[in-house]
């Protein structure tokens, strides 16, 4: 049986964050990393570029190839963890091998949602969340004239972007009455929809796919789909991109608390001793909603992984909380959104639209709780910072939508804190590089 002080299951944003945080505190403790994919950690959002032929694995690596060796991590790639025994503190793999842990991190992510429908087993039906998915689809492209993408959310739009670059005709079938409904408001969805349609994509909203049909004479192969209204669309490829749900199967045999995801506290600890979780599998603190949520966003996974790693290594760290935060640039239109973009009751909405530029802010009790920016995303950082820090913006609400918005729009006391201008007495100023050794104190 293998054993390590730290065992991490999951080799993406969360797992890597944990390794780096652990190593800042503990350079000696043994680390074993288990991943069901055979590759070093890669940037998952780049699978779209891989499909389009723009990047290969080398150009997608999240960290250098020697990252694991450099950090003293024993890797078990291509191994699936199947069972978890929290009293024995062991993980069992598909090949029956067992791994004992001192501390365990579940950074296993999510799995694609595939609703039951006839024809899923036909060749040419894929989900789109892994590098292997991109590889397999890419291999088929020479025989693909037309594709149907089920789902007009982030994954659906990103795979469509790649398919269009490859010259494939695409129909998107979206259940909601607009694309990107989970991350954008109506206006931004409309603008995005315009750009996507201009690129030659056929978007069907308010529709679902009932059946995947076979090809004439080759029934085992995808020939098309039948929608809920009976309409038939021909296609050589079907991509199911409805969404992702947390991979909680591993904890099913245990009494670890789960809701939609694995519940964790502000230290990323689960209800089982010495077991932590982070990333897309975890349900962790969302500072906008003020409750635990599954927020499957790359930065949240990495920061959650770091916090988990620190705590696993004995250094107290608290997860500041995450919230929805998305930046997209498919079909050439930059869009940034964060928080609650569709205003509910009791919310104040500020918005501004000129030409192709659109900005919308949602305020609740004077605080920024949501934002959408289309085309000009440059102010997004300062604004997201105000959201994160729960700053009351009612005093300068008019400046939010102005072209001239910047740090300088903030009230002076907030600005000074943001600029963190140190007292001159504490600032050691360098005039010439060679004077570093005998620098003169200012003021």
Q: Enumerate binding residues for another protein (CB under 8 A).
A: 17, 24, 43, 45-46, 49, 59-63, 298-299, 302-303, 306, 325, 327-329, 334, 336, 338, 377-382, 384-385, 388-389, 404, 406-409, 418-422, 426-433, 442
Whole-number Å distance between alpha carbons of 38 and 329: 29
For residue 274, the Cα-to-chain-centroid distance in whole angstroms is 25
The DSSP bridge partners found for residue 356 are: none
CB of 231 to another protein, least distance (A): 35
Rg of the chain on CA atoms, in Å = 24
Nearer to another protein, 195 or 377 (CB): 377
Nearest 10 degrees: CA dihedral of 297, 299, 302, 308? -80
Q: What's the min distance (Å) between Cβ of 340 and another protein?
A: 16
DSSP symbols for 295-311: ---HHHHHHHHHHHHHH
DSSP assigned state of 441: P
Least gap, CB of 398 to another protein (angstroms): 13
Q: For another protein, which is the closer residue by CB, 102 or 334?
A: 334
Q: How far is the CB of 65 from another protein (least distance, A)?
A: 12
d(CA 130, CA 55): 14
43 versus 235: smaller Cβ distance to another protein: 43
CA distance 153 to 172: 10
CA distances for 110 relative to 244, 261, 290, 315, angstroms: 6, 9, 23, 28
Cα 14 to Cα 44, 112, 135, 276, 384, distances in angstroms:
12, 18, 24, 11, 22
The span from the CA of 405 to the CA of 373, in Å, is 13
Minimum CB distance to another protein, residue 149 (Å): 21
Q: Which is nearer to another protein, 45 or 243 (CB)?
A: 45
Shorter beta-carbon distance to another protein: residue 345 or 432 = 432
User: Is the sign of the CA dihedral 293, 89, 67, 82 positive or negative?
Assistant: negative
Considering beta carbons, is residue 38 or 299 the nearer one to another protein?
Answer: 299
Q: Which residue has the tokens 């949501």?
A: 370
The distance of closest approach from Cβ of residue 341 to another protein in the complex, given in angstroms and rounded to an integer, is 13
| Least CB distance to another protein at residue 62 (A) | 5
- 153 vs 379, beta carbon nearer another protein: 379
Strands (E), 151-195: 169-174
Closest distance of CB 193 from another protein, Å = 20
Nearer to another protein, 222 or 328 (CB): 328
Nearest Cα to Cα of residue 27 among 5, 1, 3: 5
**Assigned token pair, 56:** 């290969």
DSSP 337-387: EEE--S--TT-EEEEEEETTEEEEEEEETTEEEEEEEES--TTHHHHHHHH
| Nearest residue (CB) to another protein, 105 versus 148 | 105
Closest approach of another protein to the CB of residue 404, in Å: 8
């Amino acid at each position: 049986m293998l054993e390590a002080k730290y065992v991490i299951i999951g080799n993406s944003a969360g797992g890597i964050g944990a390794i780096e945080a652990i190593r800042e505190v503990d350079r000696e403790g043994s680390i074993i990393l288990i991943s069901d994919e055979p590759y070093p950690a890669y940037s998952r959002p780049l699978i779209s570029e891989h499909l389009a032929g723009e990047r290969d694995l080398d150009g997608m690596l999240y960290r250098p190839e020697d990252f694991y060796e450099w950090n003293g991590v024993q890797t078990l790639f291509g191994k699936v963890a199947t069972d978890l025994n929290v009293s024995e503190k062991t993980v069992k793999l598909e090949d029956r091998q067992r791994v004992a842990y001192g501390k365990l991190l579940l950074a296993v992510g999510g799995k694609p949602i595939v609703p039951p429908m006839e024809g899923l087993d036909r060749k040419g039906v894929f989900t789109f969340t892994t590098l292997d998915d991109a590889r397999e689809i890419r291999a088929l492209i020479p025989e693909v004239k037309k594709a149907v993408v089920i789902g007009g959310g982030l994954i659906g739009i990103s795979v469509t972007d790649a398919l269009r670059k490859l010259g494939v005709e695409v129909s998107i079938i979206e259940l909601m009455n607009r694309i990107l409904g989970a991350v954008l408001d109506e206006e931004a969805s409309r603008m995005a929809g315009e750009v996507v349609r201009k690129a030659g994509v056929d978007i069907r909203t308010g529709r679902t796919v009932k059946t995947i049909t076979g090809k004439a004479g080759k029934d085992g192969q995808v020939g098309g789909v039948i929608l809920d209204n009976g309409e038939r669309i021909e296609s050589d490829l079907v991509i199911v991109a409805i969404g992702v749900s947390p991979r909680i199967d591993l904890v099913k045999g245990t009494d670890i608390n789960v809701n939609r995801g694995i519940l964790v506290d502000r230290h990323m600890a689960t209800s089982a001793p010495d077991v932590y979780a982070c990333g897309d599998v975890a349900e962790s603190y969302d500072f906008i909603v003020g409750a635990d949520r599954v927020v499957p966003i790359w930065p949240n996974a990495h920061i959650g992984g770091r916090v988990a790693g620190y705590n696993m290594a004995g250094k107290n760290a608290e997860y500041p909380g995450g919230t929805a935060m998305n930046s997209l640039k498919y079909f050439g239109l930059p869009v940034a959104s964060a928080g609650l973009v569709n205003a509910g009751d009791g919310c104040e909405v500020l918005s501004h639209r000129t030409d192709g530029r659109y900005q919308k802010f949602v305020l609740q009790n004077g605080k920024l709780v949501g934002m959408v920016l289309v085309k000009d995303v440059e102010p997004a950082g300062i604004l997201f910072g105000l959201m994160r820090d729960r700053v009351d913006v009612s005093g300068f609400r008019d400046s939010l939508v102005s072209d001239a918005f910047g740090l300088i729009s903030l009230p002076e006391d907030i600005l000074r804190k943001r600029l963190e201008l140190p007292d001159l007495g504490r600032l050691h100023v360098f005039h010439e590089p060679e004077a570093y050794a005998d620098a003169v104190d200012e003021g």
